[in-house]
Structure 1
Amino acid sequence: MLAVLDYCITAPGRLAVWLRWAMPTSRYFHDDEARDDPWWRWSLSGTFYAGLYGAADAGLFEGLWAHIALAFASR
């Protein structure tokens, strides 16, 4: 159960770590040890969630929701 929870929480970090692993310009290009390091997954996931919280706190999503509501209200 904890492994599934860990996998779900760190999904954004896993994607970011995989992108760093796959990009030829990264210094972690095909570095399997860096790709499998849990510290990178958790730190990049934490950065993602902190950025998402900051964007929501700044009110960046209210305009987005208004546009979505307007687009679906006309149907």
Structure 2
Amino acid sequence: MDRLTLERRQVWVYLVAILCGLVSGGVWPGIASYLETLLWPVLAVLLYATFVQVPLLHIRDAFRDRRFVLAAMIG
């Protein structure tokens, strides 16, 4: 799947991910406490990648640019 196709279907990908989370939470309610610790870091990475338009495969390289990360954190 290329970047343009993913951008066109981004909303559907998010909705499927939400549905998967709801179903897995209903089936295995005990894992919620373990996965809760991952919620905010995963959301931060997804928001960063979405709004900066950095492909997720290159997200590690994007976080190495300290000046940019500092500017993004300060606003």
Interval containing the TM-score (normalised by the shorter chain): 0.3 to 0.5
Return the index of the structure with the highest Cα Rg.
1
Structure with a larger share of its residues in helix: 2
Q: TM-score normalised to the size of structure 1?
A: 0.34
